[in-house]
């Protein structure tokens, strides 16, 4: 490479200046030399060449700060001479000496990247000195700009009006795959040209943002196009979109995406005037799998469920996971309700085959609610709610059912919401209270105990019985809180009764299914007994057969715990459930409460009467005490007493009353000592 030092441009004043004079005319050369020495004095060194070829050799062997160039040389003529020098000294400023004052020629030489020009006629020391300084400074600035352009992280291209490349920086060449040396003068592919702002995906999946502005390039109109690589930003955006749009576990569309899609579908239905169906799919027994087999198995099952659902629907149907074990399916077109029913039936059928989860066979069912647009509702929310409501209805019918939404369901949903809100409020305000209903000995009518029965606050806007609100309390997860209050109220009443009568009076407490499986029932009973200073025979727990059958082993363990404290256990509503009598034998219970429906049949149904007789006999054989509840008449009382029932409860004996009323009752009907 030529030995040329760029930094000398800046240091020219202090360390002297090397000028290469390329001039074949002896006279002109002398004149120039004269002016140069006059202008710069001893700080200047002059090299002289008479041909381009010699100039090249000199430049290879010497440091040159500026070239003074005549255009008419023996081996090169005119503007081409500038290009010839440029070709081996791209980085040295050039001042062209022209033979005349031709301004057009001046512009041409500048275009060929000379930095300045002077006409020989006008030449003098000052002009030459200014011209050289100007050229050096201009070159320095040009170098700086082009360095900035070259190192720019954005690709920069200057494009002529006819679409050929006039300039392309390094980044542009890399991004657009242009040849850094030969791209100038070649056309730029159409998709890379743009007016204004746009985004273009390049061959290597790179995404560039393209911005274009009009510029003047060498006095001609051109476009300056800037390409910014936004690939990583795009990727991040895409990933974010995916995270929002797709459920991470199953890969199905997410809840967000679902609502988005449904909204778009609804607006297109409006336009196309055809129907749309939404299926709300809820898994039955999923929670059980999740609880008993662990979350990993639960997740695995959900993935398999997603796969099976996906494989059961058409390509154009839209499937999403709404969360937990809830899925949704949108059928964007169908011709009849039968067709939707057919889809639902098919799904249910496909779920009859078991799944294999971590080596275990698992069978789960589906409950499907179906809503159609516009029939079931005219907005996204309305349609969703309708499908949800229908799903609840389907679930009520047992597993593997589907149900179309019907208008009247709306009322029951509103009702459910109203009740839930009211229950939440009354629990929060602790406004429930307890009535007590005495239990008497069939033989002598002496009080043997009483049952605590929860009551809704009387001044509430709604009027609900325990059979209506207890399931709601359970459903919204407040039964633990309410259950503790039942125990404490029963204990408080037992305390009052014991202080009044001087003997323990057993207060029975109804225990709901959830409470039974909440693990700490035994501990809670123990705590209450201790707190109120009561003997264990002051409390009895009542459970229904069906709640025990939910998980018999677990129920058995809890009941044994309770009985170990000395607290007795009764089976409530006996005869309505499905537990076999043989099973009864194994249950840790003390009392059988025969369901009211049997009692009601007395005098009307001989079969029931026969059953009552054998029930009592069997219970006694198992050493269980028998309570008959719902005794409303003397006839019933007599029959039950004759049949051998031990204890009676019912309106005929005493209606459930406030603690004060029952305290009075106790005064009149004291327990036998």
Residues at the site binding Ca ion, with contacts judged by CB under 5 A: 510, 542, 572-573
* Contact assessment for residue 381 and residue 413, using Cβ atoms and an 8 Å cutoff: no
Rounded CA-CA distance 260/245 in Å is: 9
Nearer to ligand C2E, 288 or 651 (CB): 651
Task: Provide CB contacts within 8 A for 131, sequence distance 6+.
Answer: 95, 116, 117, 118
Give strand pairing partners of 47: 20
- Closest contact distance (angstroms) between CB of 658 and ligand C2E is 13
- Closest contact distance (angstroms) between CB of 484 and ligand C2E is 11
Task: Provide CB contacts within 8 A for 669, sequence distance 6+.
Answer: 438, 440, 445, 446, 447
Among 125, 341, 470, 618, binds ligand C2E (CB under 6 A): 470
- Closest contact distance (angstroms) between CB of 325 and ligand C2E is 27
Nearer to Ca ion, 299 or 573 (CB): 573
In the three-class reduction of DSSP (H, G, I as helix; E, B as strand; rest coil), residue 669 is classed as: coil
Nearer to ligand C2E, 60 or 514 (CB): 514
Rounded CA-CA distance 96/76 in Å is: 14
Helix (H) or strand (E) holding 329: strand 326-331
- Closest contact distance (angstroms) between CB of 627 and Ca ion is 9
Binders in 563-602 for ligand C2E, by CB under 6 A: 572-573, 596
* Contact assessment for residue 188 and residue 165, using Cβ atoms and an 8 Å cutoff: yes
C-alpha dist (Å) from residue 291 to 7, 286, 306, 461: 77, 9, 20, 38
Nearer to ligand C2E, 76 or 649 (CB): 649
Among 58, 184, 453, 618, binds ligand C2E (CB under 6 A): 453
Nearer to ligand C2E, 222 or 496 (CB): 496
- Contacts of 592-597 with CB under 8 Å at 24 or more apart are 592/619, 592/624, 592/625, 592/626, 592/627, 593/542, 593/627, 593/628, 593/629, 593/649, 594/626, 594/627, 594/628, 594/629, 594/645, 595/629, 595/630, 596/629, 596/630, 596/650, 597/630
Give the DSSP letter string of 200-246: EE-TTS-EEEEEEEEEEETTEEEEEEEEEE-HHHHHHHHHHHHHHHB
Give strand pairing partners of 246: 253
- Closest contact distance (angstroms) between CB of 638 and ligand C2E is 15
Nearer to ligand C2E, 214 or 468 (CB): 468
- Closest contact distance (angstroms) between CB of 598 and ligand C2E is 12
Contact of residue 632 among Ca ion, ligand C2E, none (CB under 5-8 Å per partner type): ligand C2E
Rounded CA-CA distance 262/88 in Å is: 68
Contact of residue 465 among Ca ion, ligand C2E, none (CB under 5-8 Å per partner type): ligand C2E
Nearer to ligand C2E, 211 or 485 (CB): 485
Check binding of 631 to ligand C2E (CB under 6 A). Answer: yes
- Per-residue binding string, ligand C2E, 484-513, x by CB under 6 A, is --x-----------------------x-x-
Tokens 């242009």 belong to 178
Of 215-223, 303-311, 449-457, 492-500, the window that binds ligand C2E (rule: CB under 6 A) is: 449-457
Nearer to ligand C2E, 35 or 469 (CB): 469
- Closest contact distance (angstroms) between CB of 457 and ligand C2E is 14
- Per-residue binding string, ligand C2E, 162-191, x by CB under 6 A, is ------------------------------
Nearer to ligand C2E, 325 or 451 (CB): 451
**Crossing angle between the packed helical segments 479-501 and 521-532, to the nearest 10 degrees:** 30
Nearer to Ca ion, 39 or 656 (CB): 656
* Contact assessment for residue 103 and residue 96, using Cβ atoms and an 8 Å cutoff: no
Rounded CA-CA distance 563/494 in Å is: 18
Contact of residue 486 among ligand C2E, Ca ion, none (CB under 5-8 Å per partner type): ligand C2E
Contact of residue 81 among ligand C2E, Ca ion, none (CB under 5-8 Å per partner type): none
Of 322-330, 332-340, 574-582, 647-655, the window that binds ligand C2E (rule: CB under 6 A) is: 647-655
Check binding of 662 to ligand C2E (CB under 6 A). Answer: no
Phi/psi class of residue 196: alpha, beta or left (left: φ > 0; alpha: ψ in -120 to 50)? left
Burial of 1 (0-12, 13-18, 19+ CB in 10 A): exposed
Nearer to ligand C2E, 322 or 473 (CB): 473
Nearest to 641 by CA among 212, 633, 76, 114: 633
What is the C-alpha R_g of the chain? 49
Contact of residue 365 among ligand C2E, Ca ion, none (CB under 5-8 Å per partner type): none
- Closest contact distance (angstroms) between CB of 277 and ligand C2E is 40
Check binding of 438 to ligand C2E (CB under 6 A). Answer: no
Rounded CA-CA distance 125/184 in Å is: 39
- Closest contact distance (angstroms) between CB of 540 and Ca ion is 10
Rounded CA-CA distance 277/319 in Å is: 12
Among 93, 630, 659, 671, binds ligand C2E (CB under 6 A): 630
- Closest contact distance (angstroms) between CB of 479 and ligand C2E is 7
Phi/psi class of residue 251: alpha, beta or left (left: φ > 0; alpha: ψ in -120 to 50)? left
* Contact assessment for residue 508 and residue 656, using Cβ atoms and an 8 Å cutoff: no
Nearer to Ca ion, 209 or 573 (CB): 573
Among 24, 326, 551, 632, binds ligand C2E (CB under 6 A): 632
Nearer to Ca ion, 123 or 470 (CB): 470
Please work out, in degrees rounded to the nearest 5, the angle formed at the alpha carbon of residue 587 by the alpha carbons of 513 and 671.
85
- Closest contact distance (angstroms) between CB of 619 and ligand C2E is 17
Among 457, 466, 504, 670, binds ligand C2E (CB under 6 A): 466
Chain residues that interact with ligand C2E, rule: CB under 6 A: 437, 452-454, 465-467, 470, 486, 510, 512, 542, 572-573, 596, 629-632, 649-651, 656
């Amino acid at each position: 490479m030529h030995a040329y030092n760029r930094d000398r441009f800046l240091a020219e004043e202090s360390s002297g200046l090397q000028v290469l004079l390329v001039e074949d005319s002896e006279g002109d050369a002398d004149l120039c030399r004269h002016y140069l020495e006059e202008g710069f004095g001893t700080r200047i060194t002059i090299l002289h060449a008479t041909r381009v070829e010699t100039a090249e050799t000199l430049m290879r062997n010497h440091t040159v700060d500026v070239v003074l160039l005549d255009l008419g040389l023996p081996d090169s003529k005119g503007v081409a001479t500038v290009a010839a020098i440029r070709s081996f000294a791209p980085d040295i400023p050039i001042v062209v000496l022209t033979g005349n004052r031709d301004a057009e020629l001046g512009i041409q030489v500048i275009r060929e990247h000379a930095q300045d020009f002077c006409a020989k006629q006008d030449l003098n020391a000052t002009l030459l000195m200014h011209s050289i300084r100007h050229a050096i400074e201009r070159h320095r600035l040009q170098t700086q700009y082009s360095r900035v352009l070259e190192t720019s992280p954005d690709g920069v291209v200057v494009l002529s009006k006819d679409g050929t490349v006039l300039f392309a920086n390094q980044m542009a060449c890399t991004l657009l795959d242009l040849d850094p040396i030969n791209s100038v003068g070649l056309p730029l592919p159409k998709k890379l040209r743009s007016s204004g702002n746009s985004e273009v995906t390049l061959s290597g999946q790179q995404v560039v943002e393209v911005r274009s502005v009009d510029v003047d390039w060498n006095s001609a109109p051109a476009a300056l196009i800037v390409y910014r690589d936004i690939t990583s930003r795009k990727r991040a955006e895409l990933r974010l979109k995916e995270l929002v749009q797709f459920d991470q576990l199953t890969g199905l569309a997410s809840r967000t995406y679902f609502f988005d899609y449904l909204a778009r579908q609804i607006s297109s239905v409006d336009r196309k005037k055809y129907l749309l169906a939404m299926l709300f799919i809820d898994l039955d027994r999923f929670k059980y799998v999740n609880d008993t087999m662990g979350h990993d198995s639960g997740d695995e099952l959900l993935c398999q469920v997603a796969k099976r659902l996906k494989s059961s629907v058409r390509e154009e149907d839209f499937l999403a996971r709404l969360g937990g074990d809830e899925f949704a399916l949108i059928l964007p077109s169908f011709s009849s309700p039968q067709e939707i029913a057919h889809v639902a039936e098919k799904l249910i059928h496909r779920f009859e085959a078991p799944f294999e989860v971590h080596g275990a066979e698992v069978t789960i069912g589906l409950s499907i609610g179906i809503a159609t647009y516009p029939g079931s509702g005219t907005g996204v929310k309305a349609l969703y709610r309708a499908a949800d409501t229908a799903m609840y209805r389907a679930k009520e019918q047992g597993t593997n059912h589907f149900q179309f939404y019907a208008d009247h369901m709306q009322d029951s949903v509103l009702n459910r919401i109203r009740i839930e809100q009211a229950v939440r409020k009354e629990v929060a305000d602790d406004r429930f209270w307890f009535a007590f209903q005495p239990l008497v000995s069939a033989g002598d009518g002496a009080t043997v105990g009483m049952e605590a029965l929860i009551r809704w606050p009387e001044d509430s806007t709604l009027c609900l019985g325990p059979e209506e609100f207890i399931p709601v309390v359970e459903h919204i997860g407040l039964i633990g809180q309410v259950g503790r209050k039942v125990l404490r109220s029963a204990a408080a009443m037992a305390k009052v009764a014991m202080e009044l009568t001087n003997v323990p009076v057993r207060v029975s407490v109804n225990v709901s299914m959830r409470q039974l499986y909440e693990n700490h029932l035994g501990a809670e009973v123990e705590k209450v007994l201790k707190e109120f200073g009561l003997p264990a025979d002051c409390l009895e727990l009542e459970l229904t057969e069906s709640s025990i059958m939910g998980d018999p082993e677990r129920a058995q363990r809890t009941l044994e715990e309770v009985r170990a404290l000395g607290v007795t256990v009764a089976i409530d509503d006996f005869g309505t459930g499905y537990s076999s009598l043989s099973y009864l034998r194994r249950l840790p219970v003390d009392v059988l409460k025969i369901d009211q429906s049997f009692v009601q049949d007395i005098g009307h149904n001989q079969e029931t009467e026969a059953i009552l007789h054998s029930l009592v006999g069997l219970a006694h054989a198992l050493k269980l005490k028998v309570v008959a509840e719902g005794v409303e008449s003397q006839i019933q009382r007599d029959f039950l007493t004759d049949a051998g029932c031990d204890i009676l409860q019912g309106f005929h004996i005493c209606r459930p009353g406030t603690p004060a009323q029952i305290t009075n009752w106790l005064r009149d009907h004291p327990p036998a000592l």
